[in-house]
């Protein structure tokens, strides 16, 4: 009798546990704000972050998701100094990162994708979720050959791409998180500073201050120097001028819809125009049927949205 009673209790517990599984809808509602916040901070589409979280954590129900708050299947690697959890994966007893909260997992996912091997992804439009999905596989994020399509299907079935829209990207009053470099007991360094983030052509940028260098700005923003130089299509040797616009996300393929063309003035270059309107330099050359390296003449029209006829 006792044995039957015990079995009934176990079955009841299992049924209860199964009924408590997080649904895909609940997961999206619960974590969409974190994904959007990370998109604003890092430039990674919220749709991609959510889709990866859903896929890698089985909607938050996986053992790794429940016990380690690891929603992206990120392994320890040699650089990880935090908590760890071991489980079988491609190999037996593999090391995975363990977080204090799901929010930490999302933040670390953004930092993880700042590695150089993923840098090409940040050249894509933030609304190009298909390009991001394919790029993640190409860069080696997952071994499953169907990984891109799995992400795309999740995004489209749940309309996650709506979170990548401009209304979720823009936030002119947002202050970037303070210095993201090494901290002690989760406290920021006393030398860290906040910088006001502005948005132009749906691309976030800062205004260079007197005495700024790429190294200093990178440290303040928690970015890598290569990101700043890549986003601004320049080199670390370039001189920064007080008051200039410095993008902290990849520029766009075309200008804001209110700007069809730019009339060239004395001193204008293709690069200065690309920085002014937040357009990638190679896209600007292509739109105007110009060879790279050539410069426009004063009085010419440089097309910013459509290709020159």
CATH architecture of the domain 261-303 equals Roll (3.10)
Helices (H), the chain: 2-19, 24-42, 46-57, 63-68, 102-112, 129-138, 147-157, 166-169, 214-221, 225-231, 270-277, 281-287
Q: Report the percentage of the chain scoring pLDDT > 70.
A: 85
Instruction: Look at residue 175 and tell me whether its pLDDT is greater than 50.
Output: no
Instruction: Look at residue 99 and tell me whether its pLDDT is greater than 60.
Output: yes
Instruction: Look at residue 73 and tell me whether its pLDDT is greater than 80.
Output: yes
Note whether 247 and 231 are within 8 A (CB).
Answer: yes
Note whether 37 and 171 are within 8 A (CB).
Answer: no
Mean pLDDT of 84-102: 92
Which tokens hold the place of 272? 């200065």
- Could you read off the pLDDT of 108-146 as tens digits, one per residue? 999 999 888 898 888 788 889 999 999 999 999 998 999
pLDDT of 221 reads 87
Fold of 19-71+102-169: Lysozyme (1.10.530)
Instruction: Look at residue 20 and tell me whether its pLDDT is greater than 90.
Output: no
Mean pLDDT of 79-104: 92
The count of other CB atoms within 10 Å of the CB of residue 58 is 17
Q: Report the alpha-carbon distance of residue 48 to residue 66 in Å, rounded.
A: 21
Backbone angles phi, psi at 166, to 5 degrees: -55, -35
Q: How confident is the model at residue 1 (pLDDT cuts 50, 70, 90)?
A: low
Assessment of whether the complete model's pTM goes beyond 0.75:
no
Residues of the chain with CATH 3.10.350.10: 261-303
Instruction: Look at residue 191 and tell me whether its pLDDT is greater than 90.
Output: no
Give the chain's mean pLDDT: 85
Instruction: Look at residue 4 and tell me whether its pLDDT is greater than 70.
Output: no
Note whether 56 and 50 are within 8 A (CB).
Answer: no
Instruction: Look at residue 71 and tell me whether its pLDDT is greater than 70.
Output: yes
Residues of the chain with CATH 1.10.530.10: 19-71+102-169
């Amino acid at each position: 009798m006792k044995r039957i009673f015990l079995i009934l209790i176990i079955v009841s517990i299992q049924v209860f546990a199964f009924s408590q599984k997080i649904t895909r809808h609940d997961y999206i509602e619960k974590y969409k704000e974190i994904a959007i916040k990370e998109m604003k901070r890092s430039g990674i589409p919220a749709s991609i972050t959510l889709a990866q979280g859903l896929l890698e954590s089985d909607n938050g129900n996986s053992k790794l998701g429940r016990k380690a708050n690891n929603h992206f299947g990120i392994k320890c690697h040699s650089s990880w100094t935090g908590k760890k959890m071991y489980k079988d994966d491609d190999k037996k007893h593999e090391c995975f990162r363990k977080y204090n909260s799901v929010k930490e997992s999302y933040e670390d996912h953004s930092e993880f994708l700042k590695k150089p091997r993923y840098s090409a992804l940040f050249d894509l439009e933030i609304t190009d979720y298909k390009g991001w999905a394919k790029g993640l596989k190409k860069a080696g994020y997952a071994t499953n050959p169907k990984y891109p399509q799995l992400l795309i299907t999740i995004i489209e079935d749940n309309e996650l791409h709506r979170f990548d829209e401009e209304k979720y990207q823009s936030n002119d009053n947002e202050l970037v998180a303070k210095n993201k470099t090494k901290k002690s007991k989760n406290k920021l360094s006393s030398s860290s500073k906040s910088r006001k983030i502005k948005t132009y052509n749906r691309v976030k940028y800062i205004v260079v201050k007197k005495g700024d260098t790429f190294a200093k700005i990178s440290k303040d923003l928690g970015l890598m120097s290569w990101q700043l130089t890549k986003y601004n299509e320049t080199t670390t040797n370039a001189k920064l001028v007080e008051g200039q616009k410095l993008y902290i996300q990849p520029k766009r393929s075309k200008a804001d819809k209110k700007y069809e063309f730019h009339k060239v003035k004395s001193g204008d270059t293709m690069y200065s125009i690309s920085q002014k309107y937040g357009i990638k330099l190679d896209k600007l050359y292509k739109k105007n049927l110009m060879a790279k390296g050539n410069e426009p003449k004063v009085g010419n029209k440089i097309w910013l949205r459509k290709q020159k006829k």
